[in-house]
Amino acid sequence: MTGFRSPSLGLRALQPAAFGADPSGERLARIRRSPHFKDGVFQNPGGTSRIRPAGSASAFAKIYFDREAKSHRAPNGTIPVHATTLADLARPPATGLRLTWMGHSSVLAEIDGHRVLFDPVWGERCSPFAFAGPKRLHPVPLPLAALGPVDVVVISHDHYDHLDMPTIKALAGTDTLFAVPLGVGAHLEHWGVSAGRLRELDWNESTRIGGLTLTATPARHFCGRGLRNTQHTLWASWVVAGEEHRIYHSGDTGYFEGFKDIGAEHGPFDATMIQIGAYSEFWPDIHMTPEEGVQAHLDLQAGDPAVGAMLPIHWATFNLAPHPWAEPGEGTMRATHKAGVTLAAPRAGEPFEPTDAPPATPWWRAVAKPSVEGWPTWPPVASSGPEPALAGE
């Protein structure tokens, strides 16, 4: 087995605090006992995944730096954001379940009287540095301090666009608990979260917080924050079950057959939050396309499109891939319509109740550059001809 070696004290002194900390002691021993840890690293379900871009650097550069393609990778104007207010969140949800997408993969879920915050990223950049790295394309809908008390913060994995040091440090001064995948707790303790507030889980382990059961479920991705990717922290999707409702957050993941098993064990779900952005043919194993995301939703719901609503996440907030900025929204809108799945497509900061006609209008079109053919008609007009092309294809 490949041994785990801590960085030298000299190297560690040069590391920014945002790199976090490597697991050690009993945490590392627990990692080594995990059935999902082999040959010195955590293993993906379904076999080995390519975690680095496939293909040649020149082919990637040709796509990434193409002037026309580049013009589609960012909005043309100000992204519409719902300025979330205390009034939006003060009254309890009528159905017992309300979601507020805060941008990217950050979601506030109010479920059966409890408040769960998934992958909170309030920072300006998803990077260890304040001066470099992908910058936020729209402001956060409300200040973190205005969010109010949160019962539990759920982290899917330790990449910068999901685990943000400034946000965690701010939350460390509250009473919230943290549910994280195995190994990720080392980062949080390094940033001031006490060990007693951590619930650190391996896949298929659960914890009870108030009236909620939180279960870490498998995902197909990878981890790493520092100069070396040691693969010693786990990545996960999450199931949160209350007395009346069940929800699912995918974190980051490639498509795999395990969605069916998760659905059979823990579903059906009133809402799924599914990653559909930052995909590329250069890394097909670790992120999903919109079509794959919709298939994952169906797998989680035992193939029944009439069950639950799908909220697309991991898009619109940061530019992380060469696809057009609006393509994830357009693609998911088309794929859910074709499959008969209920789409929830709110503006960032817009609270909605998934079981009560969630918003689903293409708000992104107002600020995205369309293809030369223009936007397809929405809702689609019945036609015997071919389906209209997605903008940017």
Does 390 score more than 50 pLDDT? no
Confidence (pLDDT) at 387: 46
pLDDT of residue 4: 40
Residue-level pLDDT at 71: 74
Of 61-65, 77-81, 248-252, 283-287, the range with the lowest mean pLDDT is: 61-65
Q: Beta strand 198-201 with 177-181: parallel, antiparallel or unpaired? A: parallel
Residue with the two structure tokens 């549910």: 179
pLDDT at position 311:
98
Task: Using CB atoms within 10 Å of the CB of residue 113, give its burial: 0 to 12 exposed, 13 to 18 middle, 19+ buried.
Answer: middle
pLDDT 10s digits, 164-200 = 999 999 999 999 999 999 999 999 999 999 999 999 9
Q: What is the DSSP string of 299-349?
A: HHTTT-TTSSEEEEES-SSS--SSS-TTHHHHHHHHHHHHHTPEE-BPPBT
* pLDDT attached to residue 230: 65
With 90 as the cut, is the pLDDT of residue 79 above it? yes
Helix, strand, coil proportions of the chain in percent (round to 5)?
25, 20, 60
Res. 15: pLDDT tops 80: no
pLDDT in tens, 296-322: 999 999 999 999 999 999 999 999 999
pLDDT 10s digits, 110-163: 999 999 999 999 999 999 998 999 999 999 999 999 999 999 999 999 999 999
d(CA 393, CA 389): 7
Residue 64: band (very low, low, confident or very high) from pLDDT cuts 50, 70, 90: low
User: Helices 258-266 and 290-300 meet at what angle, rounded to 10?
Assistant: 40
Choose among 274, 369, 354, 351: nearest CA to 314.
274
Distance (Å, whole) CA 222 – CA 114: 30
Q: What is the pLDDT of residues 246-268, one digit of tens each?
A: 999 999 999 999 999 999 999 99
Q: Within a 10 A sphere around the Cβ of 12, how many other Cβ atoms? A: 13
Residue 72 has pLDDT above 90, yes or no: no
Percentage with pLDDT > 70 across the chain: 86
Please tell me which of 13-17, 20-24, 107-111, 277-281 the model is most confident about, judged by mean pLDDT: 107-111
pLDDT score for 56: 55
Distances 272 to 36, 58, 188, 250, 305 between C-alpha atoms, Å = 25, 37, 26, 8, 12
Q: Which residues pair with 63 in a beta bridge?
A: none
Least confident of 1-10, 348-357, 380-389: 1-10
141 in Cβ contact with 349 (< 8 Å): yes
Q: Contact, 337 vs 380, CB < 8 A?
A: yes
Confidence band (pLDDT; 50, 70, 90) for 385?
very low
Instruction: State the pLDDT confidence band at 202, using cuts at 50, 70 and 90.
Output: very high
Pick from 23-32, 69-78, 335-344, 382-391: least confident: 382-391
Mean pLDDT of 225-244: 87
pLDDT band at 74 (very low <50, low <70, confident <90, very high): confident
Query: What is the predicted pLDDT for the residue at 60?
Result: 60
**Helix 290-300, helix 327-339: angle, nearest 10:** 40
193-202 own/partner pairs: CB under 8 Å, 24+ apart: 193/168, 199/152, 200/27, 201/236, 202/34, 202/35, 202/36, 202/234
Averaged confidence pLDDT in the chain: 89
Name the residue with higher pLDDT: 60 or 390. 60
pLDDT score for 213: 98
Per-residue confidence (pLDDT) for residue 393, from 0 to 100: 34
**Type of residue numbered 68:** E
Cis before 268? omega within 30: yes
- Torsion on CA atoms 37, 39, 44, 45, rounded to nearest 10: -80
Confidence of residue 33 (pLDDT cuts 50, 70, 90): very high
pTM of the model: 0.91
